[in-house]
Amino acid sequence: MTPGLHNQEMWDKTYPEDLITGDYRSNEMNLKYVDVLVKLGAELSVPVVNVYDAFEKSDLGDKELLTDGIHFNGAGYKLAFDALMDTIEKEYPELHPVNLN
């Protein structure tokens, strides 16, 4: 699973000490991780659940998907779960819950 989106404004309000220490995150950095994970997954034939992509395609904004700028809220977890189920259905259909007896 890839990281999702990041909202710096929300994170700064929740963890203002990071502004002092310079511990910054960003969507640009998350996207670098996503790109490497997707590439590595393809090279190793390992399916990747692209949560970042699912968040970007959602009609919801990052503030509606995150609790503190990084961690998912209920709507964010629902999108991540749906992306996971889509990947299982595509890559391992026999393991999808609707096919288990």
Q: Where are the domains of the chain?
A: 8-99
Residue 6: partners with Cβ closer than 8 Å, 6 or more residues away? 25, 26, 27, 29, 30, 62, 66, 69, 70
Cα dist. 89→4, 9, 24, 49, 96 in Å?
Answer: 21, 36, 36, 12, 5
Contact criterion met (CB below 8 Å) for 51 and 1: yes
> Percentage of the chain surpassing pLDDT 70?
99
10 pLDDT tier (thresholds 50, 70, 90): very high
pLDDT tens figures, 55-92: 999 999 999 999 999 999 999 999 999 999 999 999 99
The architecture in CATH of the region 8-99 reads 3-Layer(aba) Sandwich (3.40)
Q: Supply the pLDDT for residue 56.
A: 96
Joined together, the tokens standing for residue 19 give 């502004």
Q: Which residue type does 32 have? A: K
Q: Supply the pLDDT for residue 18.
A: 74
Averaged pLDDT of the chain: 93
Question: Bridge partners of 66?
Answer: 72
